[in-house]
Protein backbone atom coordinates (compact mmCIF):
# COMPACT_ATOMS: atom_id res chain seq x y z
CA UNK A 1 0.00 0.00 0.00
CA UNK A 2 2.84 2.37 0.88
CA UNK A 3 4.48 1.64 -2.49
CA UNK A 4 1.23 2.47 -4.28
CA UNK A 5 0.91 5.78 -2.41
CA UNK A 6 4.48 6.68 -3.36
CA UNK A 7 3.81 5.70 -6.97
CA UNK A 8 0.72 7.89 -7.11
CA UNK A 9 2.61 10.85 -5.63
CA UNK A 10 5.42 10.42 -8.14
CA UNK A 11 2.99 10.21 -11.04
CA UNK A 12 1.17 13.32 -9.89
CA UNK A 13 4.42 15.21 -9.33
CA UNK A 14 5.60 14.16 -12.78
CA UNK A 15 2.52 15.37 -14.60
CA UNK A 16 4.00 18.84 -14.98
CA UNK A 17 6.50 17.22 -17.35
CA UNK A 18 3.89 15.78 -19.71
CA UNK A 19 3.67 18.59 -22.26
CA UNK A 20 7.41 18.29 -22.81
CA UNK A 21 7.52 14.57 -23.40
CA UNK A 22 4.24 13.44 -24.93
CA UNK A 23 4.41 15.23 -28.24
CA UNK A 24 1.96 17.98 -27.30
CA UNK A 25 2.80 20.93 -29.51
CA UNK A 26 3.73 24.35 -28.19
CA UNK A 27 0.39 25.65 -29.47
CA UNK A 28 -1.42 23.03 -27.39
CA UNK A 29 0.55 23.82 -24.24
CA UNK A 30 -0.49 27.48 -23.84
CA UNK A 31 -0.23 27.06 -20.11
CA UNK A 32 1.56 29.37 -17.77
CA UNK A 33 5.21 30.16 -18.43
CA UNK A 34 7.69 28.15 -16.39
CA UNK A 35 8.70 29.80 -13.12
CA UNK A 36 11.97 31.74 -12.96
CA UNK A 37 13.51 29.22 -10.59
CA UNK A 38 13.06 26.27 -12.97
CA UNK A 39 16.19 25.80 -15.05
CA UNK A 40 15.93 23.86 -18.32
CA UNK A 41 18.86 22.99 -20.54
CA UNK A 42 19.58 20.55 -23.35
CA UNK A 43 21.90 17.60 -23.03
CA UNK A 44 24.47 16.80 -25.70
CA UNK A 45 23.84 13.09 -25.15
CA UNK A 46 21.01 10.60 -25.60
CA UNK A 47 18.64 9.86 -22.73
CA UNK A 48 20.37 6.85 -21.17
CA UNK A 49 23.84 8.40 -21.48
CA UNK A 50 22.58 11.65 -19.94
CA UNK A 51 21.19 9.79 -16.92
CA UNK A 52 24.42 7.80 -16.51
CA UNK A 53 26.65 10.86 -16.94
CA UNK A 54 24.63 12.88 -14.42
CA UNK A 55 24.73 10.09 -11.84
CA UNK A 56 28.48 9.78 -12.32
CA UNK A 57 28.92 13.56 -12.04
CA UNK A 58 26.84 13.61 -8.85
CA UNK A 59 29.16 11.00 -7.35
CA UNK A 60 32.22 12.92 -8.62
CA UNK A 61 30.98 15.89 -6.56
CA UNK A 62 31.02 13.58 -3.52
CA UNK A 63 27.24 13.49 -3.34
CA UNK A 64 24.97 10.48 -3.02
CA UNK A 65 22.33 9.41 -5.52
CA UNK A 66 19.59 8.81 -2.99
CA UNK A 67 17.01 7.48 -5.43
CA UNK A 68 16.16 7.30 -9.12
CA UNK A 69 12.51 7.55 -10.12
CA UNK A 70 11.44 6.14 -13.46
CA UNK A 71 8.56 8.53 -14.12
CA UNK A 72 8.02 7.06 -17.59
CA UNK A 73 7.30 3.67 -16.05
CA UNK A 74 5.02 5.23 -13.42
CA UNK A 75 3.02 7.10 -16.05
CA UNK A 76 2.50 3.89 -18.00
CA UNK A 77 0.56 2.73 -14.94
CA UNK A 78 -2.05 5.36 -15.80
CA UNK A 79 -1.82 4.68 -19.55
CA UNK A 80 0.28 7.73 -20.45
CA UNK A 81 3.00 7.09 -23.02
CA UNK A 82 6.10 9.29 -22.87
CA UNK A 83 9.70 9.26 -23.92
CA UNK A 84 12.32 8.54 -21.31
CA UNK A 85 11.66 10.41 -18.08
CA UNK A 86 13.67 9.98 -14.91
CA UNK A 87 14.19 11.96 -11.76
CA UNK A 88 17.51 11.69 -9.96
CA UNK A 89 17.35 12.56 -6.25
CA UNK A 90 20.67 13.37 -4.62
CA UNK A 91 22.25 14.95 -1.55
CA UNK A 92 24.83 14.28 1.16
CA UNK A 93 24.60 14.10 4.97
CA UNK A 94 27.30 16.80 5.32
CA UNK A 95 24.87 19.32 3.81
CA UNK A 96 22.03 18.05 5.98
CA UNK A 97 24.22 18.59 9.03
CA UNK A 98 24.73 22.22 8.00
CA UNK A 99 21.00 22.65 7.44
CA UNK A 100 20.16 21.23 10.87
CA UNK A 101 22.76 23.47 12.50
CA UNK A 102 21.60 26.63 10.67
CA UNK A 103 17.85 26.21 10.41
CA UNK A 104 16.37 22.77 11.05
CA UNK A 105 13.13 23.76 9.33
CA UNK A 106 14.99 23.68 6.01
CA UNK A 107 15.51 19.94 6.42
CA UNK A 108 12.27 19.43 4.49
CA UNK A 109 13.93 20.54 1.25
CA UNK A 110 16.50 17.78 0.54
CA UNK A 111 17.14 15.75 -1.44
CA UNK A 112 17.72 17.88 -4.52
CA UNK A 113 16.32 16.62 -7.81
CA UNK A 114 17.28 16.69 -11.46
CA UNK A 115 14.71 15.59 -14.05
CA UNK A 116 15.84 14.13 -17.39
CA UNK A 117 13.28 14.04 -20.20
CA UNK A 118 13.39 12.67 -23.72
CA UNK A 119 11.48 14.92 -26.11
CA UNK A 120 9.38 13.59 -29.02
CA UNK A 121 12.08 14.72 -31.47
CA UNK A 122 14.76 12.77 -29.57
CA UNK A 123 16.37 15.75 -27.84
CA UNK A 124 17.06 15.31 -24.15
CA UNK A 125 16.26 18.10 -21.71
CA UNK A 126 17.38 18.42 -18.11
CA UNK A 127 15.50 20.41 -15.47
CA UNK A 128 15.99 21.38 -11.86
CA UNK A 129 14.75 23.93 -9.36
CA UNK A 130 17.38 26.41 -8.20
CA UNK A 131 18.46 25.64 -4.62
CA UNK A 132 18.39 29.38 -3.87
CA UNK A 133 14.65 29.26 -4.49
CA UNK A 134 14.11 26.01 -2.58
CA UNK A 135 15.87 27.36 0.52
CA UNK A 136 14.86 31.04 0.31
CA UNK A 137 12.14 30.75 2.95
CA UNK A 138 14.61 29.42 5.52
CA UNK A 139 16.75 32.02 7.28
CA UNK A 140 20.41 31.15 7.52
CA UNK A 141 20.54 28.87 4.48
CA UNK A 142 21.21 31.31 1.62
CA UNK A 143 24.98 30.69 1.64
CA UNK A 144 24.46 26.93 1.51
CA UNK A 145 21.88 27.32 -1.26
CA UNK A 146 24.32 29.36 -3.36
CA UNK A 147 26.99 26.73 -2.78
CA UNK A 148 24.61 23.97 -3.90
CA UNK A 149 23.79 25.91 -7.07
CA UNK A 150 27.50 25.92 -7.87
CA UNK A 151 27.67 22.18 -7.27
CA UNK A 152 24.72 21.59 -9.60
CA UNK A 153 26.41 23.70 -12.27
CA UNK A 154 29.50 21.49 -11.99
CA UNK A 155 27.30 18.40 -12.42
CA UNK A 156 25.48 19.83 -15.42
CA UNK A 157 28.71 20.90 -17.13
CA UNK A 158 29.23 17.20 -17.85
CA UNK A 159 26.30 17.03 -20.29
CA UNK A 160 27.23 20.13 -22.31
CA UNK A 161 29.22 20.18 -25.54
3-state secondary structure of 119: coil
- pLDDT range class, residue 62, cuts 50, 70, 90: very high
pLDDT at 105 over 50: yes
pLDDT at 32 over 90: no
Cβ–Cβ < 8 Å for 139, 93? no
Q: Distance between alpha carbon 129 and the CA centroid of its chain, in Å?
A: 7
Q: Burial of 112 by CB count in 10 Å (0-12 exposed, 13-18 middle, 19+ buried)?
A: buried
Cβ–Cβ < 8 Å for 131, 110? no
Please report, for the chain, the start and end positions of each structural domain, with discontinuous segments joined by +.
2-159
CATH superfamily of 2-159: TT1751-like domain (3.30.310.70)
This prediction's pTM: 0.79
Q: pLDDT (tens digit, 9 = 90+) per residue, 120-133? A: 999 999 999 999 99
Q: What gap in Å lies between CA 87 and CA 10, rounded to an integer?
A: 10
Helix (H) or strand (E) holding 83: none
Amino acid sequence: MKTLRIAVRVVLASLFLLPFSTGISIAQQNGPAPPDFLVTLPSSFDFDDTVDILKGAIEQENLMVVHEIDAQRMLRMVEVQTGGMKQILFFHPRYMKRIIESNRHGAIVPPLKIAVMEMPDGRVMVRYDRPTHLFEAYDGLSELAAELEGVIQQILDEIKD
